[in-house]
Amino acid sequence: MTISYPAFWQSEFDEHEAVAKATRQALLEPFEEMAMAAVACIKGGGKIMFIGNGGSAADAQHLATELTVRYKTDRLPIAAIALTTDTSALTAIGNDFGFEQLFARQVSALGKKGDLLICISTSGNSKNVINAMVEARKMGIITVGFTGKTGGELAPLCDILLNVPSTTTARIQEMHITLGQMLCGVLEINLGLVTVAGKVKSA
C-alpha cells in the first residue's frame, strides 16, 4: 500500500484543527474552573499531582516539570509532582499490591486535603487512574480529569472534567498537552511571582 504524503499531511492537520476548534468552543468553562482551583490550591500551600499511563504519563511528567522549573518566565517554583516517575515506588507497588494500585497508593502517601490531582486518560477507563481518583476524593483532594471519547468511568468521579471532543487518541493527547500548558501559563501569571536578577517581585 502506498501513501500520498500530501494527502496524509492535509488530513492530519485538518483533523487536528477540527478538534482544536471543538475543544476551544467546548472547554472554556471547565478550564477556567480548573485554573482557579489550581491557583487557590497553590496559594493555600497545596500541590498539584499528575498521573497517567503511557503517553499520558509523559504528559504528567512534562507538566509537573513546567511548574517546578519554568514555563515561560523565570519565577519561583510551583509545587507539582508527577506520580509516574519513581521506578522504585512503581515497581514495588505493582509487585506488592498490583498495577491497579500504582497511583492510589502514592496519592494516599503523598496527598493531603486541599491538593489537586490531575488524572490524564484518553479513554477515562484506566483502572489505576480511577482508583487514584477514588482515593483522592476520600481525602478531600480536588480531582480533575483530562479525558476524551465518552469520558469513561472517570467522568462521574471528577470535580472538574475536561473531556476533549474527539475519539482519536492522538488528537485527544494533543489537546491534553495544550490544555496542560495553558494551565501552566495561568499559574505563572496569576501567582504573580517572578525572579529577576535573583530578586522576587510582583509580575
Task: Tell me what pLDDT residue 179 has.
Answer: 98
* pLDDT higher than 60, residue 195: no
Is residue 73 one of the residues assigned to a domain?
yes
Alpha helical stretches, state H, the chain: 5-26, 28-43, 55-68, 87-96, 104-110, 127-138, 169-191
Task: Provide Rg for the chain, Cα atoms.
Answer: 18
Q: Mind listing the pLDDT tens digit for each residue in 132-186? A: 999 999 999 999 999 999 999 999 999 999 999 999 999 999 999 999 999 999 9
Is residue 180 one of the residues assigned to a domain?
yes
23 closest CA partner among 179, 151, 198: 179
- Cell triple for residue 86? 519513581
Task: Tell me what pLDDT residue 177 has.
Answer: 98
* pLDDT higher than 90, residue 197: no
Q: Mind listing the pLDDT tens digit for each residue in 29-73? A: 999 999 999 999 999 999 999 999 999 999 999 999 999 999 998
Task: Tell me what pLDDT residue 74 has.
Answer: 87
- Expressed as residue numbers, the domain containing 34 is 30-188
* pLDDT higher than 50, residue 203: no
Cα 48 to Cα 118: distance, rounded to the nearest angstrom = 7
Q: Mind listing the pLDDT tens digit for each residue in 3-18? A: 999 999 999 999 999 9
Amino acid, res. 186: V
Amino acid, res. 183: L
Is residue 9 one of the residues assigned to a domain?
no
Is residue 64 one of the residues assigned to a domain?
yes
Task: Tell me what pLDDT residue 1 has.
Answer: 79
Looking at the 3D structure of the chain, how many domains does it have?
Answer: 1
* Over residues 24-31, mean pLDDT: 98
Is residue 1 one of the residues assigned to a domain?
no
CATH number of the domain at 119, please: 3.40.50.10490
Q: Which residue has the cell 483532594?
A: 141
Q: Are 61 and 84 in contact (CB under 8 A)?
A: yes
- Cell triple for residue 11? 488530513
Cα 58 to Cα 62: distance, rounded to the nearest angstrom = 6
Is residue 195 one of the residues assigned to a domain?
no
141 closest CA partner among 177, 103, 172, 97: 103
* pLDDT higher than 90, residue 96: yes
Task: Tell me what pLDDT residue 196 has.
Answer: 47
Is residue 16 one of the residues assigned to a domain?
no
Q: How many angstroms separate the Cα of 151 from the Cα of each of 103, 118, 132?
A: 19, 14, 16
- pTM, full prediction: 0.94
- Helix 55-68, helix 169-191: angle, nearest 10: 10
* Over residues 125-134, mean pLDDT: 98
Is residue 121 one of the residues assigned to a domain?
yes
